[in-house]
Amino acid sequence: MDYILEVKDLRKEFKNFTIDDISFKLEPGYIMGFIGPNGAGKSTTIKLIMNLLKKDGGEIKIFGKDHVKYEKEIKDRIGFVYDENYYYEDLTINQMKSIVAPFYSRWDNNQFNYYIKEFDLNPRVKIKTLSKGMKMKFSLAIALSHHADLIIMDEPTSGLDPVFRREILDILYNIIQDDTKSIFFSTHITTDLEKIADYITFINEGKVVFSKSKDEILESYAIVKGGTDLLDENTRKQFIGLRETKVGFEGLTDNLNNIKSTFGNKVLIEKASLEDIMVYSVRGKEYVRDY
Amino acid sequence: MLGIIRRDLMLVWHNKRERFFIIFYIPFLLLILESYEPSWLYLTILVAYTYLLSIIPFSYDIKGKSQYIINSLPITRKEIVFYKYLSTFVYLAVIIVYAGVYLWIINRMGIKTVDYFDLEMIKESIPIIMILTSIVYPAYFSFEPKIAQIIHVIVFVTFFIGIASLGSLGDKSIVSNMEFLSGRGMIYAPIAMYIISLFLSMRLYKNRDL
């Protein structure tokens, strides 16, 4: 199987934080959401993939090739959007475009003009005068204007209004209709991923919690609700995360059979959302009482 | 390489403060260094402008993480460093034309008698520019931008103090003042320094976390 992005045992050590043996794979034609709480290592992983940070161990292959050895060739086929605007603020949209465009072998001016019009951007205004949403639109226009095969985005929808977020998601969805292209994007707005992602990689404290297909994840986790009288030391252990209130408890499980055999039909079982999975996994057993 | 040069020149020209500097630094130098001989002034302008034009684009990395953008484009870190070192000579050529036209206008208007083209001083400026940038480029490619900025200020101020000391020697000819730059050693030493600096920068930048 040829993967468009393959990360294996990735390791990077900082003074107070370590990215520890991160592994995941993304096939062509799919969208992978990269989720995790703030400080989990999402942006660091993306910077390692883009070779902005140097890895201490492991392997990163993009389009089947080593990301450092074939850096130039690989980056010609990557469109990137970062969480902040790193473009030169004193330049106008057109001036910035004229700096970036010559670097790409497949730069498409018509495509760029199409997105600038579509996103309602004025190419003659300075980047520093743009709102956060406008800056994100501009970054996206650049990323989508050189026929990239892999789009890497770091929190592209954070701070954007729901209308524009939906607009971005629609654009991304259209891109992967071409089976050769893929999208890898980090976010903590998990509802966005529920709409369009095929795979989810969840990291916490620099480690991968899971990297699976979205359907598999949503099928394997469940939210269990019941009265607090059902809980004791043993039954509490069956939950990944648990929240107890005066009126009852709510917990996340990935072992529904165990829950059913323990509680029978004394509990209510509901589908878990990605947000439930992320929140309960991060807070875990430490987050036990809410009253 | 054209991409890097285009970026540098656009950054300098489209920032109001830098544009103000580019336009008014020549009259400023002419004013504060009034008593010095024309060829010495010409040399100072060439070196100061070329050096600053090479260094100013780095300052954008202090305000933001703009180096993320360049390093995410299809260009290797080695190429970024190599083109930067090569671009110094392109900037010198640009400044020779720019300063030439500017000073010629000043001459024609009768504001001040200054050299606007002096091949001898152009030759003298090259080793000085190479030495200055040999020190400062590796600092920008290996240290945090703020530390590099401090090194840049020290180097630039040292250059000015040095050149002002030479200028203040009075009637002695500029060529004799600059004798220390005209030996054979001063042809090879800056070249060697520049090449060593280039490889050092490539090595340091290659392994740097941005």
- For chain B, the residue count is 210
Structural domains of chain A, ranges and CATH numbers in brackets: 5-217 (3.40.50.300), 221-286 (3.30.70)
Confidence of residue A146 (pLDDT cuts 50, 70, 90): very high
Residue of A53, A99, A105 with shortest CB distance to B7: A99
Contact A185/A33 with Cβ under 8 angstroms?
yes
Could you read off the pLDDT of A92-141 as tens digits, one per residue? Answer: 999 999 999 999 999 999 999 999 998 889 999 999 899 888 888 899 99
Confidence of residue B4 (pLDDT cuts 50, 70, 90): confident
Q: What is the spatial distance between Cα A279 and Cα B13, in angstroms, rounded to a whole number? A: 49
ipTM: 0.86
Q: What is the spatial distance between Cα B106 and Cα B27, in angstroms, rounded to a whole number? A: 9
Contact B201/B142 with Cβ under 8 angstroms?
yes
List CB contacts (< 8 A) between A54 and chain B.
207-209
The boundaries of the domain holding residue B107 are 2-206
What is the pLDDT, as a whole number, of residue A287?
47
pTM of the full predicted structure?
0.86
Residue of A72, A82, A88 with shortest CB distance to B74: A72
List CB contacts (< 8 A) between B15 and chain A.
90
First to last CA, chain A: 51
Could you read off the pLDDT of A160-182 as tens digits, one per residue? Answer: 788 888 888 888 888 888 888 89
What is the pLDDT, as a whole number, of residue A188?
80
Three-class SS of B125-184: HHHHHHHHHHHHHHHHHHCCHHHHHHHHHHHHHHHHHHHHHHHCCCCCCHHHHHHHHCCC
User: Picking from A12-21, A106-115, B68-77, B111-120, which range would have the lowest pLDDT averaged per residue?
Assistant: B111-120
Could you read off the pLDDT of B32-75 as tens digits, one per residue? Answer: 776 667 777 888 889 999 998 898 888 776 666 788 988 999 99
- State whether B72 and A50 contact (CB < 8 Å): yes
Three-class SS of A110-157: HHHHHHHHHCCCCCCCEHHHCCHHHHHHHHHHHHCCCCCCEEEEECCC
- Domain count for chain B: 1
Name which residue leads in pLDDT, B128 or B160: B128
* Residue of A99, A104, A146, A184 to mutate, interface with B, max B Cβ within 10 Å: A99
What is the pLDDT, as a whole number, of residue B179?
56
- State whether A72 and B7 contact (CB < 8 Å): no
List CB contacts (< 8 A) between B13 and chain A.
none
